[in-house]
Amino acid sequence: MLDMGFEAFTIALLQIIAIDIILGGDNAIVIALACRNLPAHQKRAGILWGTAGAIILRVILVFFASALMTTTGLRLIGGLLLLWIGVKLITEETGDDLDGKIKQNSSLIGAIRTIIIADFVMSLDNALAITAASKGNMFLVVFGLVLSVPIIIGGSAIILRMMERFPVIVVLGGGLLGWLGGDLMATDKLVTGHLPDLFSAVPQTGAIVGAFLVVVIGKLTQIAARRRMVGHDPD
């Protein structure tokens, strides 16, 4: 803490708090989305295990963040993963998966797996942001990681309760994942190298397209799954 001036330390501290609130909210949304179909007695376990996974990933990735985020193709792969997860979560909005098997979507292991995959992608940005803001100060790095725990747990619980009252939040959450995924893909060197003019003219093009695709594909897939279930209903 003493290797930085007081003013620089204070600014970095405030930056990390803001980063945790903003980016921790993304993790909280993913955890809430993945846990919403779990039985009541497993929802808390899903939130706790999901949060643990997010924090462990951040601890690991914070030491490799700069190298990982500049690796050509990694942002593109991560963005595609987020788009896939966004579509999957919207499709499961009423508990229906592509095969109409509700029980598979209500398992604690399945929810945790979804959380870990999404957290891995989103924790890259979080780890990079914390690393950049801390300027090598390990106290600030540890502080940022510890602070994210209550933010993610508290945020997940609140969002989960809101989803039960307002199902449209599920679609908005899936759209957010599409937005993040599209933005991540648009900043990959493979994309910017081939389409530099498009993304320089409208910086949020990738994010907008990603959100649109996730919502549209998710809802169409959900409708198709419902029709298949009705078609197979003996009644």
What's the N-to-C CA distance of the chain in angstroms?
69
- The predicted pLDDT at position 214 comes to 92
| pLDDT one-digit tens code per residue, 52-94 | 887 787 777 777 765 666 677 877 887 888 788 788 878 876 4
Entry pTM = 0.63
C-alpha torsion sign, points 95, 116, 167, 212: negative
Q: What is the pLDDT of residue 80?
A: 86
pLDDT < 70 stretches in the chain: 1-4, 19, 22-23, 65-70, 93-106, 122-126, 128-129, 131-132, 135-136, 194-203, 229-235
Question: Residue 155's pLDDT is what?
Answer: 83
Distances (CA, A) of 113 to 127, 140, 155, 183, 235: 20, 29, 19, 23, 35
Task: Using CB atoms within 10 Å of the CB of residue 107, give its burial: 0 to 12 exposed, 13 to 18 middle, 19+ buried.
Answer: middle
